[in-house]
């Protein structure tokens, strides 16, 4: 503007990459996305090619490690989060690809990296470790709820049935959850997860990543229940 010195308009630099605009506060949203993503991506990929889904861990892990050792802090945080996500992805691929008819193996297989995650809580990898542990806790809560409501024996029947038979079986199982006792169990489990998420959210950025991942399991379970009731073929289980 004429008459004003150039110094009246301070220069504002634009971020050189999206990572420079990604602060630690954005990581919980990314963690929530990574929790929801496998519902729509991993399940059909595992059905199509279990080995392909498992091998998909390699580029995820390589990308995470590459970014984790970059000098830019935001890129480091995303990379470390991806390392934790790679662990969850591999556990899910191994179980749903080869052991899906054995529900009691679900949690042990998903927990294959538990010692590494616990050991990483006090290191630079704590964001990834918290994500993995929160995802595992969400899995444990879901499996526990399935067992408590008496649906565990139906699991092998659904995953081993033909595509034509599996839909009605899954739908009947979901309808069972609408009875009074299962509804109370669902409400109590949801309340517990939300309380745990609130406590984690009060912590630092890594704890908030865990809170977002854990709370997102409620949405995952809700999407699965809705699909099982209305469109079983979209549930990802069959």
pLDDT 10s digits, 125-163: 999 999 999 999 999 999 999 999 999 999 999 989 987
Number of domains in the chain: 1
* 204, part of any domain: yes
Structure tokens at 234: 């979209």
pTM for the model = 0.89
- In this structure, is the dihedral angle defined by the CA atoms of residues 52, 47, 94 and 136, taken in order, positive or negative? positive
At residue 227, does pLDDT exceed 80? yes
At residue 13, does pLDDT exceed 60? no
What gap in Å lies between CA 87 and CA 116, rounded to an integer? 10
Structure tokens at 36: 């929801």
* 15, part of any domain: no
* 12, part of any domain: no
CA 66 to chain centre: 21
Give the pLDDT confidence score for residue 37 in this predicted structure. 79
pLDDT above 70 as % of the chain = 90
* 169, part of any domain: yes
Give the pLDDT confidence score for residue 4 in this predicted structure. 46
What gap in Å lies between CA 31 and CA 209, rounded to an integer? 6
List the domain range (segments joined by +) for residue 76: 25-234
* 6, part of any domain: no
Q: Where on the phi/psi map is residue 11: left (φ > 0), alpha (ψ -120 to 50), or beta?
A: beta
Helices (H) and strands (E) in the chain, counts: 12, 0
* 167, part of any domain: yes
* 5, part of any domain: no
What gap in Å lies between CA 37 and CA 43, rounded to an integer? 10
* 179, part of any domain: yes
Give the pLDDT confidence score for residue 22 in this predicted structure. 54
What gap in Å lies between CA 133 and CA 168, rounded to an integer? 34
At residue 20, does pLDDT exceed 90? no
> Maximum CA pair distance of the chain?
81
Structure tokens at 87: 């662990």
Q: Where does the pLDDT of residue 29 fall: very low under 50, low under 70, confident under 90, or very high at 90 and above? A: very high
């Amino acid at each position: 503007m004429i008459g004003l010195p150039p110094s009246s308009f301070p220069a504002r630099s634009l971020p050189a990459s999206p990572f420079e605009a990604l602060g630690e506060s954005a990581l919980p949203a990314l963690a929530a996305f990574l929790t929801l993503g496998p519902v729509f991506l991993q399940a059909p990929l595992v059905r199509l090619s279990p080995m392909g889904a498992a091998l998909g861990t390699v580029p995820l892990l390589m990308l995470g490690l590459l970014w984790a050792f970059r000098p830019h802090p935001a890129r480091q945080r995303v990379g470390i989060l991806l390392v934790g996500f790679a662990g969850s992805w591999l556990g899910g691929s191994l179980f749903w690809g080869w052991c899906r008819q054995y529900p009691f193996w679900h949690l042990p297989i998903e927990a294959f990296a538990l010692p590494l995650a616990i050991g990483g809580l006090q290191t630079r990898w704590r964001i990834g470790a918290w994500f993995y542990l929160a995802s595992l806790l969400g899995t444990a809560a879901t499996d526990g709820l399935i067992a408590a409501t008496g649906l565990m024996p139906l699991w092998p029947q659904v995953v081993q049935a033909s595509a034509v038979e599996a839909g009605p079986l899954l739908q009947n199982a979901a309808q069972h959850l609408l009875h009074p006792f299962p509804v109370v169990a669902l409400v109590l489990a949801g309340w517990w997860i939300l309380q745990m998420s609130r406590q984690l959210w009060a912590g630092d950025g890594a704890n908030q990543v865990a809170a977002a991942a854990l709370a997102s399991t409620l949405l995952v379970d809700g999407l699965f229940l809705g699909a099982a009731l209305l469109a079983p073929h979209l549930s990802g289980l069959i």
